[in-house]
Amino acid sequence: MTRFFSLIGRGLLQHRAMMYLLVGFALFPLYTGFADLPFWNDVAIRIMLLGMASMGLNLVLGYSGMVSFGHAAFFGIGAYCVGISSYYDIFNGWIHIGFSLVTCGLMGVIIGLLSLRTSGIYFIMITLAFAQMLFFGFVSLETFGGDDGMSIDRAEFGLIDLYEPLRLYFLVWAALVIVSLLLMFIVHSRFGVTLRAIKSNESRVEAMGLTPLKFKITAYVISAMICGLAGTLFASWQEYVSPDIMHWTRSGELMIIIILGGLGTLAGPLLGAIAFLLLEEFLPELIQAIAPDYAENWMIVFGPILIAIVMFGRGGLLGLLIKLFQRKGAS
Amino acid sequence: MSSPILQLDGVMKSYDALLATNNVSLDVVAGEIHALIGPNGAGKTTLIKQIYGSERPDSGRILLNGEDITSLSVPKRVRKGIGRSFQISNVLTDFTMRENAIIAAQAQRQEAFQFFLPAFDDASLIEDAMVILDAVGLTPKANILVSELAHGERRLLELALAMAGEPCLLLLDEPMAGAGPQESQHMTDIISALRACHGILLIEHDMDAVFALADRITVLVEGAVIAHGTSAEISQNPAVREAYLGREDEAC
């Protein structure tokens, strides 16, 4: 327990940022309740789930330096675990989650073992190839809706009825808290530190008598399982799943979220998800107000904003925030 | 003479038409520094790589403490007792010296695969790390990021990391490369002291250091051993003078 508190205290701004964000998400429904904006609860759920998936990917991308361009596949597998279970009349959410964790874990081992033999651009390509394979695999599975996908009912979690307002919201929140704590421990553990060492210099880690592949594959599997969990909850929230959920652009989206928020940081991906989805939400409206003719092309503004943050704010949004806080502290 | 720690037995390695290692046999015994010298391209680093395990010989055997390690992977050989410093500094540049040593210490304890044990703030690991850094006199700079260190200090850190695994055999690939005269002297003193508990195979171009340190010298030219003996014998050997030392003189 003391170690738990020392973790939150240490790393200072990093962990505090994470705490503030989690507390913020817990209190957010109060605001939407008073202001009568239930729509925003759904936006927050979306942010939390994409944030969670990005946090999972970040273990591989940010902490171990492996650029996986196929993590949407695990998000999608997690989602299809709900769809396929429901098709066979299994509606228990705990079973969905268990099914998803086991499947994503196994797929993580298989894809990881095959792709981690390569590195650099080859690794990027092979992870993308696996994701595309799965994408087209699901497109061709007519039983499960093929291209059109399938509608599903929200899962049943015993006494928690997800159709009651805010039940799903807090289920997602609780999952996010658990994933955050898990990652907080992993990242600062001996395993996590060794992962970062592998990112910094693999051959030195080997010279210490360790087998880097063992660490990389473990990180890959953990990250696949986290993405799967996010996907499972996402499907239950959306009440619908189609191959689009694992389209390669979503893999890119997750990477953008991480880089936007802060690569290799705990709070970065969540912060990135907030920024990314809010921009996606507000930019079209903003442009509609200023220049209605261009509203459909809001991506033209979106792109340069992302590029600017990545170029000028090294360390992403979290890096910018920390710099801001430190300057305030210094003066 | 004590029993050899390392034994090479007819090791051969070629890259296409190039014969990089031609039937090399040598040994390193406990408590000695065995220097491997030779002109550039003689195959010294290739030989070290085969002992270390990042390259496999085409034929021949490599024995560590009498055990055949020819087909073992790098991490396995390291765990059997081989420590290596590389020709080009190979340390964890994104970390502080202390963190480098902590990562080495937890690897040495076989506790690197622990998900819920703290690393950088663990008192006993920090203690171990300080012992590792103290061996090369780097403790005062423990909290400095490696990327901010001078070249000589990185070389020292690398030596400390190589020793952290408590190896019985140290492979040192040009530890003096790029160091100033003072740093070279410091490094020479440290390596000389290491002799007491390790067998050392040393590649070095700095001849002053080689003659100051080496108990025995093997001269490698075009992948083959052309001479082998004590420092005194080698410095008198006419073939060596011509093939190696002479050319070195001209170059300078």
ipTM: 0.88
Domain presence at residue A191: yes
pLDDT, position B250:
46
Pairwise CA distance, residues A164 & A302, whole Å? 35
Domain presence at residue A139: yes
* Beta carbons of A193 and B78 less than 8 Å apart: no
Pairwise CA distance, residues A193 & A186, whole Å? 9
Using DSSP, state whether A283 is helix, strand or coil.
Answer: helix
Domain presence at residue A148: yes
Task: Spell out which chain B residues touch chain A, with contact meaning CB-CB distance below 8 angstroms.
Answer: 73-75, 78-79, 83-84, 86, 90-95, 99, 102-104, 106-108, 111-121, 161-162, 164-165
Helical (H) or strand (E) element with A17: helix A13-35
pLDDT band at residue A70 under the 50/70/90 scheme? very high
In this structure, what token pair is assigned to residue B241?
Answer: 């003078």
HSE-CB at A7 with a 13 A cutoff on CA atoms is 21
Taking alpha carbons only, the member of A136, A133, A139 closest to residue A114 is A133
pLDDT, position B47:
94
pLDDT tens for the 252 residues of chain B, in order: 467 899 999 999 999 888 899 899 999 998 899 999 988 888 899 999 999 999 999 999 999 998 999 999 999 999 999 999 998 888 999 999 999 999 999 999 988 898 888 889 889 999 999 999 998 888 898 999 999 988 888 999 999 999 998 899 999 998 888 778 888 888 888 998 888 888 999 998 888 888 889 999 999 988 889 888 888 888 888 877 776 655 544 444
Exposure b/e, A237-253, CB count within 10 A at least 16 = b: bbebbbbbbbbeebbeb
Domain presence at residue A223: yes
* Beta carbons of B74 and A207 less than 8 Å apart: yes
Taking the model in full, what pTM does it have? 0.90
Range A304-331 average pLDDT: 78
- Which residue range is the domain that position A90 belongs to? 2-245
* Average pLDDT over chain A, rounded to an integer: 89
Domain presence at residue A272: no
Contacts of A203 in chain B (CB under 8 A): 86, 90
Nearest to B117 among A189, A206, A214 (CB): A189
Pairing, β B67-68 against β B82-85: unpaired
Nearest to A209 among B79, B91, B99 (CB): B79
Beta bridge partners of B9: B61
Nearest to B78 among A6, A201, A209 (CB): A209
Pairwise CA distance, residues B32 & B55, whole Å? 25
Domain presence at residue A232: yes
Phi-psi region of B34 (alpha: psi -120 to 50; beta: other; left: phi over 0): beta
Phi-psi region of B85 (alpha: psi -120 to 50; beta: other; left: phi over 0): beta
What angle, 0 to 180 degrees and rounded to 10, lies between the N-to-C axes of helices A248-261 and A72-87? 130
Search chain A and give the residue with CA nearest B157.
A204
pLDDT band at residue A320 under the 50/70/90 scheme? confident
* C-alpha dihedral sign at A68, A71, A73, A77: positive
What angle, 0 to 180 degrees and rounded to 10, lies between the N-to-C axes of helices B123-134 and B97-108? 110
Search chain A and give the residue with CA nearest B119.
A190
Alpha carbon distances (Å) from A141 to A276, B127, B147: 32, 58, 52
**Which part of chain B has CATH 3.40.50.300?**
1-81+167-252
Share of chain A above pLDDT 70, in %: 95
Pairwise CA distance, residues A323 & A321, whole Å? 5
* Beta carbons of B92 and A200 less than 8 Å apart: yes
pLDDT in tens, A168-214: 999 999 999 999 999 999 999 999 999 999 999 999 999 999 999 99
A194–chain B nearest CA distance, Å: 7
Domain presence at residue A135: yes
Beta bridge partners of B229: B217
From the candidates A208, A216, A222, A263, which should be mutated to test the interface with B, based on the most B CB atoms within 10 A?
A208
Nearest to B112 among A185, A194, A206 (CB): A194
Pairwise CA distance, residues A133 & A105, whole Å? 18
pLDDT, position B169:
94
pLDDT, position A154:
86
Nearest to B111 among A190, A209, A211 (CB): A190
Nearest to A185 among B74, B75, B116 (CB): B116
Q: How many structural domains does chain A have? A: 1
B234: exposed, middle or buried (Cβ count in 10 Å: 0-12, 13-18, 19+): buried
pLDDT, position B185:
87
Contacts of B78 in chain A (CB under 8 A): 206-209
From the candidates B45, B92, B97, B161, which should be mutated to test the interface with A, based on the most A CB atoms within 10 A?
B92
- CATH class of the region B1-81+167-252: alpha beta
Task: Spell out which chain A residues touch chain B, with contact meaning CB-CB distance below 8 angstroms.
Answer: 3, 6, 10, 185-186, 188-194, 196-197, 199-201, 203-211, 214-215, 218
pLDDT, position B246:
56
Question: Is residue A1's pLDDT more than 50?
Answer: no
Pairwise CA distance, residues A252 & A188, whole Å? 27
Domain presence at residue A284: no
B110–chain A nearest CA distance, Å: 9
Search chain A and give the residue with CA nearest B166.
A208
Contacts of B111 in chain A (CB under 8 A): 190
